[in-house]
Amino acid sequence: MRRILLSTAKILISAALLYLALRKVDLTELFSRFTVSSLFWIGMAIAVTFFQIFVGVLRWREVSAACGAPLGISRAMRYNVIGSFFNQTLPSAIGGDAVRLWMVARAGAGWRAATYSIFVDRAIGLIALAVLIVASLPWSYSLIADPHGRSALLLLDLAALAGGVSFMIFGILPWPWLKTWWATHHVHACAVIANRVIFHPTRWFYVAVLSIAIHVLAVVMAWCVVQSISAPVLFGDVFLLIPPVMLITFVPISIAGWGVREATMGLAFGFAGLAAHEGVNVSLLFGAVLFIVGAIGGLVWIFSAEKAAQRSESIEPRE
């Protein structure tokens, strides 16, 4: 019952925020801007998204190996593509993580190693995103003249960065009692693994480049969407505005980020002195690209060995 109520709340939040955001958009005007070249740019956005998934696979393999759950590239890619489908269908922007965890555990890695690999991979990604936003702050402040927008950006990033730093510090604390409580034991174990990956003497640079590249590719994807409707937005604007929006979208309070992303993007564009409705336009098409990629992931799931195994288990007679 609690799960149903939580899912219903997320659906209502998505619907309410989408309604408020779409009030700023003339859908007829948006569709009229589509041309033959728009299809090319949307196709490019889809291709960039798949490349982003592949880069994410490379980082996840590093994390999984450190967690004792090594993954081959083809299997990890399949799991991530399937995860993109469940990100669009489950009531959370991180719903695909739970499905990836399930598949890794069923593949023989064990539930603990699978859970650690997903949690640590997500934590490293969020830390990298916070660092990228911090590094961009001097230019973001030049772009965002509104004092409320500046304050919101600063508070958001400081909160994310403080969380990331606290997580890493947690991993080096020597207190024995951290390993006696169930919650602190597992969080501490994940923090230890994250530190091992982030500060590895020979692999840290590789992981750092992959982590930053994942977020830069999200910017490139958004830029392709901007080009598809010839929106009057510069690449530099997109580079500065998309990462904070993505950070907020990770908060699991809506369905696949819908509504939260549109409202935040419109607000961010407005703070930057750009047309708020263009932010909503870009966000809608950004979400549409993710939906298309997720649909392809759904086809991969339907024909996957994991789906076949689940189907056979469900029809297997019980004694």
Model confidence at 20, pLDDT cuts 50, 70, 90, reads low
Does residue 17 have a pLDDT over 70? no
pLDDT number for residue 259: 78
Does residue 13 have a pLDDT over 80? no
pLDDT number for residue 3: 57
- 214 versus 271: the higher-pLDDT residue is 214
pLDDT number for residue 63: 95
pLDDT number for residue 94: 61
Single out the residue of 185, 51, 193, 170 nearest to residue 119, CA to CA: 193
Q: In the chain, where does DSSP find H-type helix?
A: 2-22, 27-32, 36-66, 73-89, 95-104, 111-143, 147-170, 182-198, 204-228, 235-249, 260-271, 276-302, 305-315
Q: Is 216 exposed, middle or buried (0-12, 13-18, 19+ CB in 10 A)?
A: middle
Q: What is the pLDDT of residues 61-101, one digit of tens each?
A: 999 999 988 899 999 999 999 999 988 876 555 678 888 99
Does residue 315 have a pLDDT over 60? no
Model confidence at 26, pLDDT cuts 50, 70, 90, reads confident
Model confidence at 266, pLDDT cuts 50, 70, 90, reads confident
Single out the residue of 138, 6, 95, 143 nearest to residue 290, CA to CA: 95
Q: Taking all residues of the chain, what is their mean pLDDT, rounded to a whole number?
A: 86
Question: Residues 131-141: what's their mean pLDDT?
Answer: 90
- Percent of the chain past pLDDT 90, that is, above it, reads 47
The answer to which of 16-30, 80-94, 131-145, 242-256 has the lowest mean pLDDT is: 16-30
Model confidence at 11, pLDDT cuts 50, 70, 90, reads low
Does residue 163 have a pLDDT over 80? yes
Question: Residues 234-247: what's their mean pLDDT?
Answer: 92
Q: What is the pLDDT of residues 176-203, one digit of tens each?
A: 888 888 889 999 999 999 999 999 999 9
Question: Residues 153-171: what's their mean pLDDT?
Answer: 90
pTM score of the predicted model: 0.87
Does residue 9 have a pLDDT over 70? no
**Sequence-ordered list of residues with C-beta below 8 angstroms from that of 264, at least 6 positions apart, any chain:** 244, 245, 248, 249, 283
**Sequence-ordered list of residues with C-beta below 8 angstroms from that of 259, at least 6 positions apart, any chain:** 13, 14, 15, 16, 17, 18, 21
Does residue 2 have a pLDDT over 70? no
CA 278 to chain centre: 22
Question: Residues 277-305: what's their mean pLDDT?
Answer: 90
